Structure 1
């Protein structure tokens, strides 16, 4: 049986250590877990492991040389631990890793607009006996199993050496950086060491369309989407639908999106630039096609059927479901919110000025008061979990957090727009609209602890009598 506890860890110089073997465990701990001291146990911190003989005593003590091997700077600090009786393994922490894009030039906002998120992760992890270490690609040591990283404690950041964490959450925020050969080599190095690396990469819109296109049914729909292969792709789609969205397959945060509307033989094309909506008119589809082809160039785009979305005070509304794995490794819904775009905007992203609405509030206050709100809410919740499971089954790599975007048309049909593997964690993001530790951070820590071996027993439903 595996149990979890908290204890203060003391590190003593080898020559002052009061017992052979290098480890003293509290008698209470030894009794609770029925650990016999006739055999050594394996002490683990991150991916570092050392086998030590131990003696029972009054407190938890580790000799300095063993602590140095584990890269454990813990003297006098309280840690959680998890004892696996079958393996005779004692895991300290756990140590949670967050891979970041880069460091900021300012000491206060060390990770730029992600700093507040990082502080929350650090504080929540520490409150549960763990440690969260934040590191960049440059801080991965290719010559040893250690990394250099940053921790946050007592309102300040400090840098130190740590063992490679077993569980690492990928928060690289740049597609370009993530796709570089050097980046992939560092990520593969982590995986080769045995790291559980999750939210493997940014997702490609066209790949998602291909993966999920067979999931359409009577309760959820996908906008018809095709890969842009030149002006003929535009001509075909414009002949089918009066409104189109043209999107980069590798885009995020609403960047690079264009909306096209047909008015008789003329076309209006809109896109965002410097926070404003730019509108241009084209007198023919040929003229529009030339512009679009020049604008796209060699980049990869998709053309997607436009939907007559419900609106709120004239602004478009869509919905973001944040789906994460929990302390049992199961997909759960953390939140579903409405996102209202700025006036005249073609996108609703909060990063471009959109605002957050409660799910029901967004539906009930829309310009379509006849909508079956209860049914729509039920469909979104059900399908958010279903899509997460189906996506994971077909995806390469590990994923434990997804942003799934829904839309609702004026007839009440629910549409899936896209799936995002890197939901924003910046100060303006959906998850930062609550006081205290945001629920998404709590769930992130739950899953990282679970994946690191700190597993909860699944709750059993009470039997009916």
Structure 2
């Protein structure tokens, strides 16, 4: 479908009637939009009958103050416009809403805290491409009535009444918020009433991911042996099979609560646990005693037990990789970035929150014990694995995802392994190392939203 970009101009009250809009003559001709006859104007869930008046030597769109207040459109917004002759519908968009965990109305310069810069970047990207974006929180969700309170940018952040968007990107960072009945009800209602597309609609947990991917033959090579820890028998089997295993909270993030278990020469077992102050060491004379020490934690935390791997390191500091995989303008998975993460001096996990540092893949593998041929093919192998895993998630887990943070590792032979898949990748952890005005990850999110909205 062909589209044209237009800049929104809002006229004062009394100059233009509510049911009349003015559109550049060139846009009308290019999209074969009839003038002087009633059409349906659509923006997200907003619809009203309007008559279009052509304006010579003008390439924008003029609406009056009443229509602007009902649509939430601010002056100088740049939107795409399309026309469907069969339904006589003049459509503006794409209209994208981002569901964020919290806002801070008393901080007008930083209403979304640490992700305000990401939000502003998305506004800039939308104005450049011809799209509109708003931001809302679970607190803004009430009964679904075709409109909602949300934030828009107009030479500063402001909260206003908006229609329901064409696309909702779920950026909630809390399972508790995501599982609120009001949030779940909203997601279902807007889909059924307005055809709104929602992506990254749920969190993933480690057990769900590994269980689902085990069914895909082509992915078995990248999956370390992994089970939900339910009994001491599972712990004993894994610790007999491997000299090192990892216990990972099924719903953990940022490397919190990971326990490394290693078998010692004297038959005892050493545990290293990540904690706020660093790494906590403890030795157990038997696996029964180790399991007993875990039983208290297991009342509130489920653990995934995973095969320990002989991973590459950089001067003794473990290295792993974060691939950001996103859907593109054609709705296909594409790798946006892959960065290496090198663990901090006192840690065995590489998360930036635990003192890790970022590097390019090439720089990180150059200082490892990998064979020369494996160093040369490292990036390509990581790229292939990340793409295959994203496709596998889509195939095996019944939910809609538009971006995934995929944590990968590489052993000393160059073999790639999956560590974890995150359906709410941090907007800091995957930042490309070269600074640009609008990051590729933001562009990709906008392009997929545009595809979903049908523009």
Where structure 1 has 5 or more consecutive residues not aligned to the other structure, the ranges are 455-465
Q: Quick one: distance in 1 between partners of 2:53 and 2:372? A: 71
The corresponding residue for 1:3 is: 3
User: Are the equivalent residues in 1 in contact too, given 2:33–2:83 (CA < 8 A)?
Assistant: no
Q: Deviations over 1:13-41 (max 9, x none)?
A: 3x5337x9522222221122222236432
| Within-5 A mapping of 1:149-164 | 149-154=150-155, 156-164=156-164
User: Are the equivalent residues in 2 in contact too, given 1:22–1:66 (CA < 8 A)?
Assistant: no
The corresponding residue for 1:197 is: 198
The corresponding residue for 1:329 is: 331
C-alpha displacement at 1:237, in angstroms? 1.2
C-alpha displacement at 1:275, in angstroms? 4.5
Q: Quick one: distance in 2 between partners of 1:218 and 1:200? A: 24
C-alpha displacement at 1:106, in angstroms? 4.0
| Within-5 A mapping of 1:432-451 | 433-435=433-435, 436-451=437-452
User: Are the equivalent residues in 2 in contact too, given 1:336–1:359 (CA < 8 A)?
Assistant: yes
Could you say if the C-alpha distance between residues 163 and 115 of structure 1 is closer, same or farther in structure 2, counting changes exceeding 3 Å? Answer: same
Where structure 2 has 5 or more consecutive residues not aligned to the other structure, the ranges are none
Could you say if the C-alpha distance between residues 272 and 359 of structure 1 is closer, same or farther in structure 2, counting changes exceeding 3 Å? Answer: same
How many residue pairs match? The answer is: 447
| Within-5 A mapping of 1:226-265 | 226-264=227-265, 265=267
Q: Deviations over 1:158-203 (max 9, x none)?
A: 1111111110110100123223334323333333333211001110
3-state SS, counterpart of residue 127 of structure 1: helix
Q: Deviations over 1:291-336 (max 9, x none)?
A: 1222222432210000011000111111111110112222111001
Q: Quick one: distance in 1 between partners of 2:388 and 2:206? A: 19
The corresponding residue for 1:80 is: 79
The corresponding residue for 1:342 is: 344
Q: Deviations over 1:375-410 (max 9, x none)?
A: 332222122222212211222221110111111111
User: Are the equivalent residues in 1 in contact too, given 2:261–2:270 (CA < 8 A)?
Assistant: yes
| Within-5 A mapping of 1:426-465 | 426=428, 429-431=429-431, 433-435=433-435, 436-454=437-455
Q: Quick one: distance in 2 between partners of 1:214 and 1:220? A: 12
User: Are the equivalent residues in 1 in contact too, given 2:360–2:433 (CA < 8 A)?
Assistant: no
Q: Quick one: distance in 1 between partners of 2:95 and 2:449? A: 9
Task: Report the TM-score, using the length of structure 1 for normalisation.
Answer: 0.89
The corresponding residue for 2:276 is: 274
C-alpha displacement at 1:110, in angstroms? 2.0
User: Are the equivalent residues in 2 in contact too, given 1:140–1:146 (CA < 8 A)?
Assistant: no
User: Are the equivalent residues in 2 in contact too, given 1:170–1:197 (CA < 8 A)?
Assistant: yes
Q: Quick one: distance in 2 between partners of 1:84 and 1:233? A: 61
Alignment match of 1:286 (pick from 273, 281, 288): 288
Could you say if the C-alpha distance between residues 256 and 219 of structure 1 is closer, same or farther in structure 2, counting changes exceeding 3 Å? Answer: closer
Q: Quick one: distance in 2 between partners of 1:238 and 1:441? A: 43
Q: Quick one: distance in 2 between partners of 1:337 and 1:111? A: 26
